[in-house]
Structure 1
Amino acid sequence: MEKAALELDKAAMVLKLLGDKTRLTIIALLEKNDCCVCEFVEIFKMSQPAISQHLRKLKDAGLVEETRKGQWMFYSINRKSVFYPFLKEILAHLPNQQDKLKKLDEAGLRITCK
């Protein structure tokens, strides 16, 4: 029975993290795309340190992972995480956020960070 309480604690931790609209939107964007911090800065009109803080929290919880490409860090959903099925279920109930990246692309602001 104690194990169920621990699992409930983990679920509560994930839900608390995703209770922030910016982090929830980041996860929704990462569902179909790897993104660089600079793209999130443009989408959310927030500073790079603020975006990095959100990403650090998601990474520390094991929800996202980072990959270095040259000098840039790209983020993606950690599909190997024990929380991935839970994330997938949550994302299934949210509106698609891919239009945000499409608008960046159309405005010529989608940064390839290569």
Structure 2
Amino acid sequence: MNTYKTYLESRGFSNTTIQSNQNNLLQYINWSEDSQIEAEQSSYNEVLGYVHYLKKKGLQQGSIQASVNSLRHYFNWLIHRGVRKENPVINMNIKGIKRRILHNVLNKQELEKLYNDYK
């Protein structure tokens, strides 16, 4: 697993998701170069600066969270390769995003009945 793409493929991501993650990472790398920050060694505060930059650009919270998720995978890949020891964005979540909450979820017995009664 020497490439980021191979790492994402091994995690079972679709080609569309991999492409999106790579695009988000490329945007972060470009921003970090412009900000004279070494992307591989970014700190929590530096990534937070990037989040503020995305907010100033007018991106929606969902898009910003997608970028943070891409960075989370990137830093996990760096940890896997032994380049880093910790992930600075492991617990970073963007507030204001509506989360989906499942209601009326079937319990185990109801699922088994549904499975067994299916013809």
Q: TM-score, normalised to structure 2's length?
A: 0.35
Greater relative CO (CA pairs within 8 A, separation 6+):
1
- Larger % of strand: which? 1
